[in-house]
Amino acid sequence: MDFALTEEQQMFQELFRDFAQNEVEPLADTIDREERPPLETLQKAAEMEFMGLPFAEECGGAGIGAIGYCLLVEELAKVCLATACSLGIHTSTGAMVINLGGTDEQKTKYLVPLAKGEKIAAFCLSEPDAGSDLSSVRATAVRENDHYVLNGSKTYVANGDIADVFTVFARLVPGPPEDGIAGFIVEKGYPGFKVGRTERTMGIRGCHVVQLFFDGCAVPAEGLLGGEEHGPGRGAEIVSQTQDFARLSMAATCLGAAEGAMEASVRFATDREQFGVPLAKKQAISWMIADMATEIEALRYLVYRTAWAFEQDEKYTRLAAMCKLFGSEVACRVANKAVQLHGGAGYIRDLPVERMYRDARVTRILEGTSEIQRFIIASDVFQEQDLLLEP
C-alpha cells in the first residue's frame, strides 16, 4: 500500500501551510479573545479558492479530492481550531449536503457560490431535544401551494450568524411515516426566519454557534433538498451521507490540533531549562512527546485511509466514525499533555496551549459525540456478523 502523498498533494500541503502560518496564526489569539468569527480569513481563503476544495470544478470547486481537503483543515487546525471549524463546517456539512443530495438546479444556484466562497453555509439539524436522534426532530414542514412552511427551532448551529445559506431538516406533516425527515435550503432573509442568540462557549470562540427560529417560514418548493421527483422524505439518507464526510473532516481537524499542540510542546521542552538541563532531556517529558507522536502518526494514517476510501467510492461509515472517535480522543489527550508539560505557563493565556486545550474539548462533541461514534462502530461490527444492535 502506498501512503505517500503525490507531488500535487505535497504542493497543496505547502500552500496550505504557508496560508495557515501567514494568514491564520497571527489572528488566532485575537479571534479567541474577542470571540469574533474569522471573516477576513474566510474571505482570503475564498480568494485562494480554498472554500470548495473537494467539489467538482463544474460545481465551483477545486476538484482536488478528500485527501487534499483534509490537508487543508489539518494545517488550519494546527494554528487555530476555530478557523478550521468555521471553514470545515461550511464545506463538509453546509455545502457538502447540497453536493450529495441537491438537484442540478440547486447545485448551480447554491453550491457554486458556496464552493467559491461567495456565500457561507450552515447545517441545521440539532434541536433543544434532538441531536443525533433524527426521530426526535420536532421542526415541521407543511406543503402549502407552491411552498413549504417551516415551524420550529434549531440549536448549536455553527456559522449560523454569518451564513447566507442554511440547510434545514424538518419533519414532514402531514405524511406517512416513511416520508420522515426532509431537507430544505433556506436563504438568509426569508420571512419568518430569525437568528437567535449566540451561545457562550468554552472553546473555538471564533466559530459561533447560534439558535435559529422558524415561525411560518415559507420556503419555495424548489428549495426541497433533492427535489420532489425523488420523493420528499430523503432527509435521513442525505444526513447520513453528509455526516460521514463531516466526521472525516473533523478527524482531519483533530489531527491538525494534536500536531499543533505537540509542536508547541517540543519547542517549549527544548527551550525551557530545569535543574540545569532542557526539559527535553527529562525522561518523563520525553515519554510524553513519544506518546504524542505515536498517537498522531496512527491518527494520520486512519484519516488518510478514510479519505482514500471516500475517493474510491467505498462504504466508509465505520471508518469515518472510527477516525472521528480516535481523532477527538487523540486531540484531547495531546492537548492535556501539552498543558501539563508547560506547567504553570500552560495554564496562562499568554501561551497558545491554554487555548488549544479549551478548543480541543469540543471535538468529542461536534459531528456526533464519542458515544454515538462507538455505537455506530459497534452496530456495524454486529451487522457484519448478521447480528443487530438495537438503538
Residues noted as catalytic: 367
* C-beta of residue 78 within 8 angstroms of C-beta of residue 256: yes
Instruction: Give the sign of the dihedral formed by CA 326, CA 265, CA 42, CA 21.
Output: negative
* C-beta of residue 55 within 8 angstroms of C-beta of residue 95: yes
* C-beta of residue 269 within 8 angstroms of C-beta of residue 261: no
Q: Which three cell numbers stand for residue 171?
A: 419533519
* C-beta of residue 196 within 8 angstroms of C-beta of residue 212: yes
* C-beta of residue 301 within 8 angstroms of C-beta of residue 67: no
End-to-end Cα, the chain, rounded Å: 36
The DSSP annotation for 309-335 comes to HHHTT---HHHHHHHHHHHHHHHHHHH
The b-or-e profile of 176-193 (16+ CB within 10 A means b, else e) is eeebbbbbbbbbeebeeb
345 burial via Cβ count (<10 Å: 0-12, 13-18, 19+) = middle
d(CA 306, CA 170): 30
* C-beta of residue 300 within 8 angstroms of C-beta of residue 323: no
DSSP, collapsed to helix, strand or coil, labels residue 185 as strand
Partners of residue 121 on adjacent β-strands:
165
Q: What is the DSSP letter of 308?
A: H
